[in-house]
């Protein structure tokens, strides 16, 4: 639909020149829809749907440039905004001055939306290479470190209102969650699972990629605890990226005494979300199946937690959501189909049946 409407992903997609022929409300709506759809597709491509386009919209990012009828300097603004979406080299990212935009301490939704637009441009480049580029070295450590540098540049150039503090609104925390989740998504293919959990701080002697990964895991663990205090944690799905990444990281090191409380806090968060989102059931079920397979929990306890979640189903909730979601993130690196939640739940149900038939026999 986005291609048919010429929003992005096609040779004749709308440009700033086209927007300048529209009224300001029409131009703003067109840009917001284009970037909103692109952001959603980029977000879901990390866990669910395959990447559908390599190219972001060429329209200016809402909150970054003026939209509507041309005024003096508007061509320059559109050109600058369009250039911000173009791929840049690692050296370009490092050479840019890291000066924060001073916009006061009142965090506007427009600041968060603009930050997400820039983040999803980087994420979409990562996803396209991981899912579609089969050329030699397409997903090398050099590629990962280049994109990591871009992510750091993005973080260093956030508006001051996007800095995280004790007064941050939920949408700012969600943006930080997706930033750290994207770091893990980028670096996961290059580290073994047993190095994902346990680092407390970065040191020059540590291997770069595992240390960068573990640093974002620690940030996400803290964000999970903080976000749980917000009422939005019970009715907004945008914070779930922190839950699924933390659950995967701690389940990869079940010898660490910290793994269990963190994992259970993630399951409880999905239990709270279930009254609003039926997909929370299949995600939690996939995570429980994963941790049973890894030996961290027996089937009786896992099924008990899943039944507790299902007991929270509201009278207006629909049927079971589809299982396209990927929940075993390590497995997804090598076999995305096997990592789908419906496959994992099938495995859990098969193990349950086998356990019932063999109880007292083996």
- Of these ranges, 47-56, 130-139, 240-249, 325-334, the one predicted with the greatest mean pLDDT is 240-249
Lowest-pLDDT range of 48-62, 66-80, 250-264, 268-282: 66-80
| pLDDT tier, 139 (very low <50, low <70, confident <90, very high otherwise) | low
Domain ranges of the chain: 1-92+109-153, 164-362
Radius of gyration of the chain (CA): 22
Spatial distance between the Cα atoms of 195 and 182, rounded to a whole number of angstroms: 18
CB 295 within 8 A of CB 274: no
Query: For residues 157 and 170, what is the distance between their CA atoms, to the nearest angstrom?
Result: 20
> Among all chains, which residue has been given the structure tokens 């027996």?
298
User: Which residues does residue 101 pair with via DSSP β-bridges, in sequence order?
Assistant: 159
Rounded Cα distance between 27 and 106, Å, is 26
From CA 35, how far away is CA 43, in angstroms rounded?
Answer: 12
Which tokens in the block code for residue 44? 């879901």
DSSP SS3 for 259: helix
Q: Is the pLDDT of residue 94 over 50?
A: no
How far apart (Å, rounded) are the C-alpha atoms in residues 110 and 327? Answer: 31
Mean pLDDT over 287-299 rounds to 91
- CA separation, residue 4 to residues 52, 163, 324 (Å): 14, 37, 25
Alpha-carbon distance 105 to 224, whole Å? 23
The yes-or-no verdict on residue 276 having pLDDT over 50 is: yes
> Which helix or strand (DSSP H or E) is residue 322 part of?
none
Of the listed ranges 163-167, 182-186, 251-255, 323-327, the least confidently predicted one is 323-327
Among 316, 308, 255, 318, residue whose Cα is nearest residue 285: 308
Residue 68's DSSP bridge partners are: none
The pLDDT-based confidence of 112 (bands split at 50, 70, 90) is very high
Report the interhelical angle of 170-187 vs 109-132 (nearest 10°).
20
0.85 surpassed by pTM: no
Q: Provide DSSP, 315-326.
A: TT--SPPP---B
User: What is the mean pLDDT of the segment spanning 42-64?
Assistant: 85
Closest CA to 59 of 44, 78, 43, 74: 78
Contact (CB, 8 A) for 269 and 228 = yes
Beta partners for residue 326, in sequence order:
340
Quote the longest CA-to-CA distance of the chain. Answer: 83
């Amino acid at each position: 639909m986005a291609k048919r409407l010429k929003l992005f992903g096609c040779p004749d997609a709308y440009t700033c020149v086209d927007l300048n022929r529209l009224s300001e409300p029409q131009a703003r709506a067109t840009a917001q829809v284009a970037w909103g759809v692109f952001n959603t597709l980029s977000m879901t491509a990390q866990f669910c749907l395959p990447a559908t386009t390599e190219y972001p919209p060429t329209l200016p990012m809402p909150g970054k440039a003026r939209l509507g009828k041309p005024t003096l300097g508007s061509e320059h603004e559109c050109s600058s905004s369009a250039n911000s979406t173009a791929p840049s080299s690692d050296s370009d990212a490092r050479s840019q001055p890291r000066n924060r935009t001073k916009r006061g301490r009142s965090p506007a939704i427009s600041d968060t939306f603009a930050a997400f637009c820039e983040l999803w441009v980087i994420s979409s480049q990562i996803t396209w290479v991981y899912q579609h580029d089969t050329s030699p070295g397409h997903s090398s450590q050099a590629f990962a470190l280049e994109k990591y540098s871009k992510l750091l540049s993005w973080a260093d150039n956030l508006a001051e209102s996007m800095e995280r503090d004790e007064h941050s609104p939920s949408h700012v925390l969600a943006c930080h969650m997706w930033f750290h989740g994207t770091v893990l998504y980028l670096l996961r293919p290059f580290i073994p699972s047993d190095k994902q959990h346990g680092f407390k701080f970065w040191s020059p002697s540590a291997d770069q990629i595992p240390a960068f990964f573990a640093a974002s895991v620690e940030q996400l663990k803290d964000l999970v605890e903080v976000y749980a205090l917000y009422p939005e944690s019970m009715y907004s799905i945008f914070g779930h990226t922190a839950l699924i990444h933390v659950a995967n990281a701690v389940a990869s090191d079940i010898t660490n005494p910290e793994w269990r409380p963190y994992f259970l806090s993630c399951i409880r968060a999905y239990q709270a979300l279930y009254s609003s989102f039926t997909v929370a059931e299949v995600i939690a079920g996939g995570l429980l199946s994963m941790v049973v397979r890894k030996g961290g929990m027996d089937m009786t306890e896992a099924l008990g937690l899943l039944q507790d979640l299902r007991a929270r189903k509201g009278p207006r909730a629909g049927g079971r959501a589809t299982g396209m979601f990927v929940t075993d993130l390590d497995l997804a690196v090598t076999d995305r189909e096997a990592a789908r939640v419906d496959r994992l739940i099938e495995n859990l149900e098969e193990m349950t049946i086998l356990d019932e038939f063999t109880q007292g026999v083996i």
